[in-house]
Structure 1
Amino acid sequence: MKTLNTLLLVLVFQSFLLSTALAQNSKTAMVPLPSVDDFSRGEDGWSFGLGLGVEYETAYEGSDEFGVEIQPAGAVQWRSGDNVFFFAGEALGWRGLRAENWLVEAVIGFDEGREENDSDDGRLDGLGNIEEGFEFVLQARRALAADWRYWLVGRAVVTENGNLGLFGVGRRFGDKNDGSGHEINAVVVFHDSEFANTGFGITAEQSAASGLNETSLSGGLRSFGLDYNYRHIVNDSWQIFAEALYEHFSSDVRNSPIARSNYEAEIGIGFIYVF
C-alpha cells in the first residue's frame, strides 16, 4: 500500500509538472494579439525577426490614387518578464503588461510627412512638402476578459505638427495564445487644429501657388475607422501576417480640396523570419 501511495504521488507530481509545462508553452506571447510582434518565444533576452511586406495603399491622406509599396517588417527586441524593448524600422519603443489586463506602449518614431510628387496626377502641386518629423506615441489597451478576447484601446500621438487621439474597442478571434489568429478594432479619431491643417489645410500662399481654395480646419472629429490584423505562425521560424485599414473622414475633412476621396485605405501581406 505504501508503495502504491508513493507511486500515485509521483504520478500526480509528474502530471502537475507536465500541465505546467504545457501551460507555459501555450502562452509564448506576452499578450495573444496578432497586431503585437513578439519574437521572444516566451523567453527573456534578445530576439530578432526580419521580413518583407507588400502594401497597396492610398498615395497620401485624402488621395484617390493608389500604389504598391514594399516595406521591411520585423524588429529587434529585448524581453525581461512582462516588459519588451524594441527597435522596429524607424521606431524605438517599450511595451509592458501590467496586472495581466493592461498593455501599455510608448514609442518614439517619425511622422512620414508628404511630398508634392506623392501625387502622380499633380494634385499636390503648389502645396509644398511636409517634412518628416519626430512623433511620440502612447497607447494603452485594457482587456475586458482574461484571454484578451475583448479590449478597450486609447492612443495619443504628439508630433511637431499637432496632436491626434484615438479611442476604440477590439475583438480577437482564435483560440491560441501564441499571437496567431485574427483581430479587429473599431475606432474614432480626433485631431487638434494644427494637425488637421497640416494635412488638409491650405494657406493663402499655397492657394495662390496651387489654385486651390484657401482652407482652414478646426480641431475635433477626424474620422471613424476599422483595422484588421492576421498572423499565422507556420513554425518556430516563419510567420505570415496580413493587415487592412479603412478610415472614413469626417465632413470637415472631406470639405478640404486636398481630400479627393472620403476615405483612406490600405491592405498588406508579408512574412517574417524569426532568428
Structure 2
Amino acid sequence: MKTFTTLLSLLFMQLILVQTAIAQESRTALVPLPSVDDFSNGEDGWSFGLGLGVEYETAYEGSDEFGVEIQPAGAVQWRSGDNVFFFAGEALGWRGLRSDTWLLEALIGFDEGREESDSDDGRLDGLGDTEEGFQLVFQARRALDADWRYWLVGRAVATENGNLGLFGVGRRFGDKNDGSGSELNAVVVFHDSEYANTGFGVTAEQSAASGLNETNLGGGLRSFGLDYNYRYFVNNNWQIFAEALYEYFSSDVRNSPIARSNYEAEIGVGFIYVF
C-alpha cells in the first residue's frame, strides 16, 4: 500500500511538472501594451473581438468645436507565432515581434479627409472638401527593458496629401503582463509642406471664397503630444478600454486662420467582447 501511494504521489508530481512546462511554453500577449489589441490569448489561429467606443473630440484639426461620435471597436486577427495579421475598422495590417524588443507594424488605412460641414459654425465655408484617400503607416517600438516598461517609438505616415512623422517615448503602468493596465506616450510630430497645407493652408482661391487670409505653410515641426491608453479585463471575454489624446500645435500651425484652437484633444471609452 505504501509503495502504491508513493507511485501515485510521483505520478501526480510529474503531471504538475508537465502542466507547468506547457504553461511556460504557451505564448501570451504579443507585447504587454494596453494600446495593442491582442485577442489571441496566446494561441495561434483566428481570433475576433467586437465592441463600441464613444469619443468626445474636436470636429476637425484645429477646431474649437467638439462633438460626440460612436465608433465600432475590435478587430479580426490571425496569429502565427510572433506575427499577427489584422483587419480593424478601415485598416488592414500586420504586426510582429522581433528579438523580444522590437515591435514592428505596417498597415494600409483610409483617410476620411475634411468636409466643410464638419464645422457647425461655418468656420470651413469656402474652403471646399479635402479629398478622401488611402494612407500607409509603418511604426516601430523598441523596448528599453525586458518587460516593456519603457520604450522608444517612431511612426511614418504616407498619404496622397503629404507625409507625417512621429517620434517619442512611452511608459507602461500596472503589474500584469497580459495587455491590461495603462500606458503613456509623449511624442513630437513633424509634417512636410503638402501635409501641412492640406490641413492648415489657404490657397488664393480658398481665400477669395472664405474670406480667410491666404496661408502657405512649410514643412517642419507640427506639434507636441501626449497619448494615454487604458485597458481592463473584466473576464476572459469582456474588455474595457479608454484613451485620451492631447496635441499642442507649433507656432506655424497656430498662426493658420484654420486653427481656431492651439490644440487638438480627444477622449474615448468603450468595450470589446472577445469571442
The equivalent residue for 1:131 is 131
* Mapped partners of 1:6, 1:97: distance in 2: 44
State the AA in 2 paired with 1:233.
F
TM-score normalised by the chain length of structure 1: 0.94
The equivalent residue for 1:116 is 116
* Mapped partners of 1:123, 1:110: distance in 2: 25
Displacement after TM superposition at 1:19 (Å): 3.6
**Structure 2 residue 18 is matched with structure 1 residue 17:** yes
The equivalent residue for 1:236 is 236
* Mapped partners of 1:52, 1:237: distance in 2: 14
* Mapped partners of 2:192, 2:10: distance in 1: 65
The equivalent residue for 2:207 is 207
State the AA in 2 paired with 1:112.
E
More divergent stretch after superposition (5-14 vs 61-70)? 5-14
Pairwise mapping of residues 87-106 of structure 1 onto structure 2 (< 5 A)?
Answer: 87-106=87-106
Q: How many residues were matched structurally?
A: 273
**Structure 2 residue 268 is matched with structure 1 residue 246:** no
Displacement after TM superposition at 1:254 (Å): 0.1
Displacement after TM superposition at 1:66 (Å): 0.2
State the AA in 1 paired with 2:173.
F
Displacement after TM superposition at 1:175 (Å): 1.5
Displacement after TM superposition at 1:255 (Å): 0.2
The equivalent residue for 1:32 is 32
The equivalent residue for 2:141 is 141
Q: Deviations over 1:114-167 (max 9, x none)?
A: 000100000000000002100000000000010000000000000000000000
**Structure 2 residue 149 is matched with structure 1 residue 164:** no
* Mapped partners of 1:253, 1:107: distance in 2: 27
The equivalent residue for 1:267 is 267
* Mapped partners of 1:177, 1:11: distance in 2: 29
* Mapped partners of 1:92, 1:259: distance in 2: 31
Q: Secondary structure at the match of 1:28?
A: coil
The equivalent residue for 1:59 is 59
State the AA in 1 paired with 2:157.
V
Q: Deviations over 1:211-266 (max 9, x none)?
A: 00000000000000000000001111100000000000000000000000000000
Q: Percent same amino acid among aligned pairs? A: 82
State the AA in 1 paired with 2:251.
S
Displacement after TM superposition at 1:11 (Å): 7.1
TM-score normalised by the chain length of structure 2: 0.94
More divergent stretch after superposition (173-182 vs 47-56)? 173-182
Q: Deviations over 1:11-30 (max 9, x none)?
A: 775554344344456x6211
Q: Secondary structure at the match of 1:62?
A: coil
State the AA in 2 paired with 1:220.
G
State the AA in 2 paired with 1:34.
P
Q: Secondary structure at the match of 1:17?
A: helix
Displacement after TM superposition at 1:195 (Å): 0.2
Structure 2 unaligned segments of length 5 or more: list them.
Answer: none
Structure 1 unaligned segments of length 5 or more: list them.
Answer: none
Q: Deviations over 1:31-84 (max 9, x none)?
A: 000000000011000000000000000000000000000000000000000000
